[in-house]
Amino acid sequence: MASRDVRLPPPCCHLQDYRSSGGSTPCGGGAARPFRSLHRCLRARPLGRAEVRREADEVPRCGSCHAGAGSGSLGPRLYACLACAAVSCRAHAPGHADLRRTGHEIAVDVDRAELFCCTCRDQVYDHDFDAAVVLAQKALSFTASSPAEALPPPEKKRRRVVDYRPWAPDPMERAMVDRGSSPLPPPPSTAAASTSSSPHAVPPPPWGLRGLNNLGNTCFMNSVLQALLHAPPLRNYFLSDRHNRYLCQQKSQRKKHAVVGRGAGAANGASHGNATALGKTLCLACDLDAMYSAIFSGDRLPYSPVRFLYSWWQHASNLASYEQQDAHEFFISMLDGIHEKLHQDQCKSHNQGNGDCCIAHRIFSGILRSDVVCTVCGFTSTTYDPCVDISLDLDPSQGSAKTAATRAHSCNGEAESVLSSKTCGISTLSGCLEHFTQPERLGSDQKFLCQHCQVRQESLKQMSIRKLPLVTCFHIKRFEHSSTKKMSKKVDRYLQFPFSLDMAPYLSSSILRSRFGNRIFSFDAEDSDASTELASEFELFAVVTHSGKLDAGHYVTYLRLSNQWYKCDDAWVTHVTENIVRAAQAYMLFYVQKMLFYKASDNVVPS
């Protein structure tokens, strides 16, 4: 891990003498670790600040002048001697050190848990002391389980809200567009909608909204494809001809001709094999490019993604069947197929962690940070792992199990149940993210080898998000598999999810800031990523849902286009309300960075 250079204050001679003498503390300790046991005398406060532990009704007072927190408007700064725990104010601390002779020069600030030299009358810094304070903060964050011990949440900083307005051409730009392009013919539904004068008329469907035929239990594929076809960065990439399927096939054919040419001296019987090898190259990106051309052609008839299904079967032969598959597994396999083909063509290093190896990882790849902290010495082992999605558990502690009433909304003559009448709990996406990023104590069977202690120790683990992708996919773990009971089941717990999401509280920089406060040694240069923090606001544009049982279910996608919601159920596409979407049993949620999400204007004026 790279760390930035930190300019430390000059060492205090009294602190060095205290350390060399093995300074004794009221909590114990030794020459090797004079501050290690201090974490038992400390407690954590909001925003990472620590203080000396005391009773709730206890008011510390100076032993000489009896001045305490209640004296004056703010009260004096009080310091507790590390040798005898005597409390003194700033004026009487030097006298206490002189009276007790040697060994009583170093004290700790009662309210700020900072070292103070009574003889020098100044604050002093010690790396091991800060490590003890940080260890106390980490340990105490796990023990504050009861409501009495739980700390109040810190006040959230108000973020600057940016109003994203759709682009509108000025007269000069409109003239340039008219000269260089020709408008697409409006679909038949547009003309019918324009003649309707009802204020509640359903708006015409936007371009690119087209159903996908079910080719035999392929609703899992159709649901994910609908989300990817309308992911703004991926859509813009293919529609701007960044991946031309004709050029890609020609390039692949030239490579095959070169391979065949090198083997020209083979037997004549190989000619048939060469002819087969010179056929069309399987490429998921090319098939996706062809699908984009067909979907955004203006044709409203359902499209059959036969070629794409065949290519995916060739890539994932273990999933090649007409049985129902998992939509999340298809999503991962599809991105892997696109990455594998484009990685071979571009001859780039396999470095999807940086998100620059192919279009799939440039859009969907993020980086997770995992901190494993030794509970004995405080050593932290940090690892970074690339990811294309974030899998979240439905935290059973959120909400209470209640019997929800059944409400039905009529949409195009179809009644849809908003909530099931059976007993189920309610979870929230923010609660799932907090559960994902909160620290957890690893069991005794998961002890890790501490590089500082050189033995296996119990540890604490905390996950956070180091880098956010352009499109964040949340996978909700609704399918549970038990190896001991040899059974699987589906979790029908209801999940509340917002249409606008701020990911700032779950970033590594935010979590480290709340964990350590202003401890100067705890931050590395790589932990502060201004670009990630500025792009932490996301907008929901697609929801993949699963209804039914584990072995007999159906996938449906809800798309947010032009600020309207549409239900894509294989070949059928219908307009729905926000309440229908919020009540859906979400399985995969697709969020895009707000700067890439263009909301439709409330008052659309036809040109």
What residues act catalytically? 219, 554
Tokens of 521: 């040694």
Q: Find all residues with CB under 8 Å of 529, minimum gap 6, and list them.
A: 466, 467, 507, 508, 509
Residue 426's beta-bridge partner residues? 494
Cα-based torsion angle of the residue sequence 20, 24, 30, 36 in order, rounded to the nearest 10 degrees: -100
Q: What is the DSSP letter of 39?
A: G
Tell me how far apart the alpha carbons of residues 155 and 477 are, in angstroms, rounded to a whole number: 31
Tokens of 366: 């993020």
Burial of residue 276 (CB within 10 Å: 0-12, 13-18, 19+) is: exposed
Q: Write out 553-605 in H/E/C secondary structure.
A: EEEEEEEEECCEEEEEECCEEEEECHHHHHCCCEEEEEEEEHHHCCCCCCCCC
Cα-based torsion angle of the residue sequence 282, 332, 211, 209 in order, rounded to the nearest 10 degrees: -100
Tokens of 156: 């959230």
Q: What is the DSSP letter of 323?
A: S
CA 206, chain centre distance (Å) = 30
Count CB neighbours of 123 within 10 A. 13
Nearest in space to 370 (alpha carbons), one of 274, 437, 446, 302: 437
Tell me how far apart the alpha carbons of residues 388 and 390 are, in angstroms, rounded to a whole number: 7
Q: Find all residues with CB under 8 Å of 399, minimum gap 6, and list them.
A: 425, 426, 427, 428
Looking at residue 431, its amino acid is: G
Contact (Cβ atoms closer than 8 angstroms) between residue 590 and residue 231: yes
Tell me how far apart the alpha carbons of residues 515 and 51 are, in angstroms, rounded to a whole number: 14
Which stretches of 375-421 are assigned E, i.e. beta strand? 380-387, 390-392, 402-403, 408-411, 414-417
